[in-house]
Amino acid sequence: MTTQHNSWNEMAGRLQFDGRAVINGERVAAVSGQTFDCTSPVDGRFLAAVARGDAADIDAAVAVARAAFEDRRWAGLSPRSRKQIMIRFADLILAHKDELALTETLDMGKPIRNARATDVNACANTIRWYGEAIDKVYDEIAPTGDNALALITREPVGVVGAIVPWNYPMLMASWKIAPALAVGNSVVLKPSEKSPLTALRLAELALEAGIPPGVFNVVPGFGHEAGNALSLHMDVDCIAFTGSTRVGKLILVNAGQSNLKRAWAELGGKSPNIVCADCPDLDRAVGAAIGSIFYNQGESCNAPSRLFVERSIKDAFLERALALMPKYQPADPLADDTVMGALVDKTQLDTVMRYIDSGRKEGAKLLVGGEQARAETGGFYVAPTIFDGVKNDMTIAREEIFGPVLSVLAFDEVDDAIRQANQTIYGLQAGVWTRDINKAHRIARALRAGTVHVNQYDEDDITVPFGGYKQSGNGRDKSLHAIDKYTELKTTWIGL
């Protein structure tokens, strides 16, 4: 794979990253003139000086987004016209697939093969899907009395502020901007300070596709500065947030204490995966459990980080799991066959190492991994780590680690596994493996999670809602349900 590595590296050498904000269709420096350094977790290389947006930049972006909304340069287009432009936007993303994938890999550390095959494709697909959907959504007439007609129509909320995390930068951005734009809103997007580069390119491609200036603006910056200002802004009608539960709570407080903007939060997870002794295919269960926890270096909100396995098959399960480990050793993200890349930054590396340390200290048994890898590269890599003998009240079983660490908990009674699986502040996803259909339904119904996987863990589709119960959030991204987040319902009574 040396050839491929070299060709991606050559391309990386040619890429020029522009870290300025995109406001009203223009590339602009921060009002303060300040920048922050964006460096790569792959090997520490410098990528760009990025505009350090703060309240002044958010003010500027919200003002142009408001102006664009008021003059209806986008909202006033027919759904069919918006659809055509969004499809062009999706096509342009695919036309820049290599550039965007490479930027995502350098910025965030994920393997290039995942960035190409998943992140870029899924981002384009999301934008295309909402574009194609929007001229097929009908309004309603209510079944009211004889002398009146009540129309129930959807209208865009106005200016949407979107704040997204660093783990799937393009994809998380698309889950917000695609439905918000499709229904006619203007958007101000604040990407994570840890991976801001692809969002800025998306704004340029949107302009090239024909989304009018001012409709989709991107302001990079830190959470406590730009993010805080956006969620507090008095002229933002809706804030759509994806990130940690800690910051999600701040966002809801900010929304409430400013203008009571609609506030949606898609937050963290600590998803349980219950494998019963009668699981239909042990190899498949092992492959899915391991593949899903270590995908994206474990930096996935829905990673099945707590594995509940029935005691009678635990040894067989772990033996197969350990046999898969060589495939998941961290390697160069720019090589085409790498499946495990770098963590996003030094802070994340330190956090994961602290959790590994706490697992050891609290008495869990380290089966494999547990150490930093590839330190000589200047990047941030952790070996895939499995702890056996974990108890549900240990820190590694309670808190979201957001790294390649799997906690294994044995169970004897399925009701006990369900009880422990639900014993968490989170409720994003869950898995269950059994060939008994009644048991599968009973467990799926009992699990308090927004998504339950039965006898698989990797299915995903833009057509299904994504979101959590409890402190995993209060809304749903994806599917037509997401349109509810970005529209107001209006009733119009007409006397007859």
Angle at 159 (CA atoms; ends 153, 160), nearest 5 degrees:
95
Q: Does 304 bind ligand NAD (CB under 6 A)?
A: no
Q: Which of 40, 242, 420, 487 binds ligand NAD (CB under 6 A)?
A: 242
Nearer to ligand NAD, 151 or 253 (CB): 253
Of 129, 166, 308, 387, which one interacts with ligand NAD (CB under 6 A)?
166
371 is catalytic: no
* Bridge-based pairing state of the strands 487-495 and 140-142: unpaired
Span from 98-106, 261-269, 329-337, 355-363 in contact with ligand NAD (CB under 6 A)? 261-269
* 346 binds ligand NAD, rule: CB under 6 A: no
Site string for ligand NAD, 393-412 (x = CB under 6 A): -------x-x----------
Binding flag, residue 167, ligand NAD (CB under 6 A): yes
Does 109 bind ligand NAD (CB under 6 A)? Our answer is no
The residue range among 64-72, 100-108, 164-172, 432-440 that interacts with ligand NAD, by the rule CB under 6 A, is 164-172
User: Of the listed pieces 101-109, 165-173, 289-297, 435-443, which binds ligand NAD according to CB under 6 A?
Assistant: 165-173
Shortest spacing between CB 402 and ligand NAD, in angstroms = 6
Among 217, 231, 292, 338, binds ligand NAD (CB under 6 A): 231
Nearer to ligand NAD, 179 or 184 (CB): 179
The stretch among 60-68, 246-254, 315-323, 484-492 that binds ligand NAD (CB under 6 A) is 246-254
Q: What would the x/- binding string for ligand NAD be over residues 169 to 198, using CB under 6 A? A: ---x-----------------x-xx-----
Is residue 131 at the binding interface for ligand NAD, with CB under 6 A as the rule? no
- Binding flag, residue 310, ligand NAD (CB under 6 A): no
* Contact flag: residue 165 with ligand NAD (CB under 6 A): yes
Closest-by-Cβ residue to ligand NAD is: 223
**Subset of 463-482 contacting ligand NAD (CB under 6 A):** 466, 468, 473, 477
Contact positions vs ligand NAD (CB under 6 A): 163-167, 172, 190, 192-193, 222-224, 227-228, 231, 242-244, 247, 250-251, 266-269, 301, 400, 402, 428, 466, 468, 473, 477
Active centre residues (catalytic): 266
